Structure 1
Amino acid sequence: MKVLVIGATSRIVPMLQEITGITDAHYVRECRSDEELPAVDIMLLDGLSFPEVEAVLQRRSSADLVYVYNARKGIIAEHHKQVQDVCLHHQMAMLTDVSDQHLSADLERRLFPERFKDIKRPSVALISCHRRSGRQTISGSLAKALVEQTGCRIGLVDLNPYAYEDKGPSIWQCMQEYEAGLLTPLRVREISEEISSGVYRIGGNAKLDHARRYDPVKLEQVLRIVEQAFDFTVLAISPYWDNTLTLIPARMTSQKLLIASSQSDGMSEFYAVLPQVAFLTQSQLDLRSTPFIYNMDGHGLVSRLSISTKLDAASVLTIPYDTKLAAGDQLLQESMQKLAARLAEQGGLPLRQTVTVKRTWWRGGRTRV
């Protein structure tokens, strides 16, 4: 896509150059009749006056017009309404610029709306309330149970920002390939690691210098592409409440389950951080009333009823305390079956039919039906 910016400064050009899919970003100070404009798909009018807008309209050719209203110093209501009326009259899109981050996100949503469409592939976010609550074990067990219930391809994505020991395919690698314009659902399947039959894993962030540098919009797009690569995706989210690798997937995933435990210190820290989470996400993410998996029953002082009361949520699964419990443990897998079947059914995945064998006697011989 080719874009032309018209305005007093070229401030928007660097933002456009960071958006995947923009092949050329041109800039001119004003639309003069004696100068030839480059052929582009989009013209961005950066705070132009009404006469300047009219000059552009006379030379727009087939390009779509987008007006950028600069509101970084506040909105003058009367002028803002006049600009809205002009944009509506000439069928121009209008974006309100309050910061670089918001403008960059709005530009990508406007220029590439297909990237932000709801993904039909189902997913679930398992959000750890605190460290050592069993996030990896439970998410791995759920992924295995989903394969057993459906026979489908299940993605398991670890979103630990500090997974420095993870040497396999990682979310960092996905982000690098996305920025290079190479990431597709097929490519995600190619680089993911099949850790067991039908379960494909993408590891956490192995590059610590990138732990706090993931762009929210780009990260959301990467996760959407990852979701499209599998029939069902399990997102294992770590409890780092100031990190985009925690906040973005938790906010964007409609199906969420908390992983709570009977450890009183960890759960107290989680309750205390809930207002911070709501503040950082502008109240878009409220983890209260989110159903939870209760882990380590009998190991700590916090009861399942206490957690349910404080969160105003129900428990969907209780896991007894066992120091040797692992993702492939038979007891854990058996307890996961009903939860996996429920998630699969809600996600529209076909459940495997249970085959029964009957033995009957007929003419003296035994027959299997």
Structure 2
Amino acid sequence: MAEDMTVLAIFVDVRGFTKWSEANEVFINLDSFVEGFFNVLRRRFRFPEFQLKPLGDGALLVRQIPDDLSSKDVTRLLGRALNVIGQVEKDFARHCTEFSGRVGHAADLSLGWGIVRGKVIKVGEDWAGHNLNKCSRLCNEARPFGIVVDRDDFPELPPEGKSLIKQVRRLRGVGDVPVWVSAEIASQFIPRERLREEPEVHVAGTCVNEGSNGELNLIFARRSSERRLFPGKLEGCGGQLRHSESFTDGVRRHFRLELGIDVEVLQDFHTLYEIREPNEPLIPGLRFLCKQIDSREPASANHSEIIRVSEKQFRDMSASDFVGDLKHEVISLLDRYKATDHNLRR
């Protein structure tokens, strides 16, 4: 007979497991590694307070809780869960070290976590429901490793979670979910379609350098044809500004994460822009001219190509090749720049 109940649900998954497990030394000892991992979970998330359901190289942990917890009790509940997760992380690291020494193959693995609170349906010894689906998806967002917590379920952070960062993640089949994420997750590049800061403000930069012949050249990245917004269009580099982040720090961060290069932001040369989409709020942004200050070749796994063009080639290109009004905005910045005595040479 089905029974509904309120629970604390935690999904955990071993990051890097699939590729790692293909090694011969690992494969023949895989059962002992996985069982050791589950033993760590059982030891820290004690039965019968928590019930554990193994799921391949991951697990679902469920604890029934009262329906009418106070806000303070909800915060304490999250604090206790984070404390146990910290203990599991240490035990898991020791387990990986022991396994590596025993079988002679490195086990550089980490854990990803998703945490929610809410109603589920229990049928026999199994659970089902929307909250478990969301919990699984939050765990999947915990990359390269770390913790993702549903912020609607846990609006206040306990002392154990003060390092978590506020975000809004767009989950397929679920929609926008306010979350707390650990720093290693927040530092990853996430396309705007899947991440929303609060409030949403954008920054962008167009990289322009002076060649040996004195002619200016510019760097643009072509968006993948699979992107929902502006597929196949050329853009500079940028995205959402983080909470309490300066405009210039945001631009430098995006160039490092997206294109793998370091830039100097030319603060005097900027212009406002807007992102307008049907049935979406207007998003303001600030675009800067930048110059590359290292010798690395820009590259991006999130774009189909990176191109360098001379200023003349750029001015001859169609405005429709670029995202929004980018071409006209950059021309305006270039004209202002060339009217000064600034020098782009390093």
Give TM class, smaller chain.
under 0.3
Bigger RCO (CA 8 Å, 6+ sep): 1
Name the structure with the higher strand share. 2
Which structure: larger Rg? 1
Name the structure with the higher helix share. 1
